[in-house]
Amino acid sequence: MKYEHPPLKAAAKKIKKTDFGDGFTWGVSSSALQTEGACDADGKGPSIWDVFSKEKKKILNNDSPAVACNFYGQYKEDIALLKKLNIPNYRFSISWSRILPNGTGQVNQKGLDFYHKVIDACIGAGIEPWVTLYHWDLPAALQEQGGWTNRKIIGWFEEYVRVCVNAYKGKVKCWMVLNEPMVFTGAGYFLGVHAPGKKGLSNFLPAIHHAVMCQSGGARIIRQLQPDAQIGTTYSCSYVTPQTDSKRDKEAAKRIDALLNRMFIEPALGLGYPMETIPFLKRLQKYMKPGDEEKMIFDFDFIGIQNYTREVVSYTFYIPYLQAKLVPADKRKVFRTAMNWEVYPEAIYEMIKKFGHYKKVKKVIVTENGASFPDLLEDNAVNDTERINFLGSYLEQVLKAKQEGHKVEGYFVWSLTDNFEWAEGYHQRFGLIYVDFATQQRTVKKSGYWYRDFLK
């Protein structure tokens, strides 16, 4: 496969940090489950991914997050690398089951202490910690009670948020409530390809509604406990286009856009679920109680968007509920990453515009953008020119959006290190830093040095 997109080659050289102005936020992102390892160390309880990965053929190569990048043991080294690479902001998540091993009840002090050490190491290095409260690793004990399909999760989540904010509010200014709720509900509770491996509308619909309730309920608790906090939440988003100009393809694309890009942001803004575009969402009313529509609303300080690609959609009679299907990048013979995601820099510009056009959205921060390529470690170096070209080309589009007056005010690369990439295991590499998972040796890639010099 040829990965490099010829028009990308010059982009990384043309763009400069100063083009974005002094107030623009720069950083990198990671998550607990994908990096920490230490899956049962110091009182941590199992998460749904710890359980899911033990089932054969669920994860590529039967990989497991049990060790991952050993961030739990090597966080000082990784934060020192952040400083070495001039990265001023670090977005990471807290493991719910490290703090509350059973999901509720007894707090694990050693878990609390670990994140104190991570946060203190960041602050000591002059790096601002940005904390995501939920990045897909639900405590397994809560999944045994239905997980996101059980309305009790609203109370469970609020208890967890309260513990975290009370512990770290003196040190953490920037909080994100949920990471990509469309993905953890869709892949985990409808398609079954992510933990906990549930399928069907009877799982998907309650999971959607309870996640929407938690994104606002968790945010209200942060505001109550830390009034001066910067509070956001993050959404996966893809620029959606029809395969042809036919009416059927255009209508199919609207349905996919509503599912992928509107499902969670619009309830928070008081616009409700996009039921008119996707009629089967009317079944959500079964799970809604009086007062829920008001409780779904929260005035976020920022919205995090996470964009990697675009999706091309065609009509099909055979897919229930949506009558729409995605046309994979390889079938379209377009330039793509190792994840089979089309390299389409204009997608991030379109998503910044789309989310920024909502009147109640105050500012947009790109909280993830990056690419997986088949990186090779040769002579103690990784010459990942494709990733540099990718990042530079997408940043050109971020700059275009900013210069046109759209509300974008920050950009975080996914990710700091190669890590456990969910169902893809260790096969896909997104990092600015190469990890040899057998030895846990870190090697800064050429893209890491490029980002360092860009941020100087």
Instruction: Name the superfamily (CATH) of residues 6-455.
Output: Glycosidases (3.20.20.80)
3-class secondary structure, 197: coil
Does the annotation mark 294 as catalytic?
no
- Each domain of the chain, given as residue ranges in start order, spans 6-455
Active-site residue, selected from the candidate residues 36, 342, 350, 368 = 368
Q: For residue 196, what are its two tokens?
A: 């906990």
Candidate list 180, 311, 396, 421, residue with the active-site label:
180
Q: Categorize the per-residue pLDDT at 10 as very low, low, confident or very high, splitting at 50, 70 and 90.
A: low
- Please say whether the dihedral angle defined by the alpha carbons of residues 155, 159, 162 and 168, taken in this order, is positive or negative: negative
Amino acid 9: pLDDT:
57
- pLDDT band for position 11 (50/70/90)? low
CA separation for the pair 353, 366 (Å, rounded): 12
Separation CA 40–CA 46 (nearest Å) = 7
Chain segment 189-236, per-residue pLDDT in tens: 999 999 999 999 999 999 999 999 999 999 999 999 999 999 999 999
Confirm if 413 and 451 have CB atoms less than 8 A apart.
Answer: yes
Helix (H) or strand (E) holding 142: helix 140-143
Kindly report, residue by residue over 141-186, the tens digit of the pLDDT. 999 999 999 999 999 999 999 999 999 999 999 999 999 999 999 9
Asked if 55 is an active-site residue, the reply is no
Q: For the segment 340-388, what is each residue's pLDDT rounded down to a tens digit?
A: 999 999 999 999 999 999 999 999 999 999 999 999 999 999 999 999 9
